[in-house]
C-alpha cells in the first residue's frame, strides 16, 4: 500500500516522531509511506483538520494513496472531517486493539489518531504497537473470523450508500472555496508525491489548473 501521513497544525511538532514510527512499522509489512506534513509547527503552509479531511479524500479518490494516517489533539475532529468527504472511511484509533478491529471488521482506508490526548511518556511505544497491529494482517479479514462474511457484506453496503449520499470529488473540488482548496494542496512536497502517484487525470488536471 501507499500510505499517506498528514498532520494538522496543532500537532505538527510531532510529525517527525510519528513519521519515523509509521515508516518503520509500515515497511515491515511491505508498505511505503509518504509524509505530506505538516512537518513543523512553523511551516508556511498551515493545515487544519478540515483541510486534512479534504486532502485525505483527494489522495484516496485519485489513487495517489491507498491509506491515510492523520489525527489531531483528540482524533475526533480529524475523524469527523475525513468522513465528511467522499471515498473516505475513517475510524478514530487510539490503541492496538482499535487498530486491529478497525482493519479487520470495518476495512476502512483512513485512521484519525489522538496526538495530544493521552500522548505522553511512552507514546512512541503505543504508536509502534498500534501501527504494527494495524498492518499485521490484510484488511477485511473479519473478527471473529466466523463473522467475516456478514462484516464484508456490511462494508459493501456502506460503500454503496456512500456512493449515493456523497457528491463526486471533482464536483466538490469545483464547488468548495478555491482558496481553501489551494491552501490544502500547497504543502512543500504535495506536487512531488501526488502527481506521480495520481491515477485520476481529471482530478490531477483540475488541481494543476489552480497553480
Average pLDDT over residues 166-190: 97
pLDDT for the residue 150: 96
Range of the domain at 129: 2-209
Residues 6+ apart with CB under 8 A from 67: 1, 2, 3, 4, 31, 60, 109, 110
Residues 6+ apart with CB under 8 A from 13: 40, 41
Average pLDDT over residues 184-198: 97
For the stretch 83-118, pLDDT in tens is 999 999 999 999 999 999 999 999 999 999 999 999
pLDDT for the residue 99: 98
Confidence of residue 211 (pLDDT cuts 50, 70, 90): confident
Which CATH number do you get for residue 191?
Answer: 3.40.1400.10
pLDDT exceeds 90 at position 132: yes
Provide the number of structural domains found in the chain.
Answer: 1
Phi-psi label, residue 140: left if phi above 0, alpha if psi -120 to 50, beta otherwise: left
pLDDT for the residue 60: 98
Amino acid at each position: 500500500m501507499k500510505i499517506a501521513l498528514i498532520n494538522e497544525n496543532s500537532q505538527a511538532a510531532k510529525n517527525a516522531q510519528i513519521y519515523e514510527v509509521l515508516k518503520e512499522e509500515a515497511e515491515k509489512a511491505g508498505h511505503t509511506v509518504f509524509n505530506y506534513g505538516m512537518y513543523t509547527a512553523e511551516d508556511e503552509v498551515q493545515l487544519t483538520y478540515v483541510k486534512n479531511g479534504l486532502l485525505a479524500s483527494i489522495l484516496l479518490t485519485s489513487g495517489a494513496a491507498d491509506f491515510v494516517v492523520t489525527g489531531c489533539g483528540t482524533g475526533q475532529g480529524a475523524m469527523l472531517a475525513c468522513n465528511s468527504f467522499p471515498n473516505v472511511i475513517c475510524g478514530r484509533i487510539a490503541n492496538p486493539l482499535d487498530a486491529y478491529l478497525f482493519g479487520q471488521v470495518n476495512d476502512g482506508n483512513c485512521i484519525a489518531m489522538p496526538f495530544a490526548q493521552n500522548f505522553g511518556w511512552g507514546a512512541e511505544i503505543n504508536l509502534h504497537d498500534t501501527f504494527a497491529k494495524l498492518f499485521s494482517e490484510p484488511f477485511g479479514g473479519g473478527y471473529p473470523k466466523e463473522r467475516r462474511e456478514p462484516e464484508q457484506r456490511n462494508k459493501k453496503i456502506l460503500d454503496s450508500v456512500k456512493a449515493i449520499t456523497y457528491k463526486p470529488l471533482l464536483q466538490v473540488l469545483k464547488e468548495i472555496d478555491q482558496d481553501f482548496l489551494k491552501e490544502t494542496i500547497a504543502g512543500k512536497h504535495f506536487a512531488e508525491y501526488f502527481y506521480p502517484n495520481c491515477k485520476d487525470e481529471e482530478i490531477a488536471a483540475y488541481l494543476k489548473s489552480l497553480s
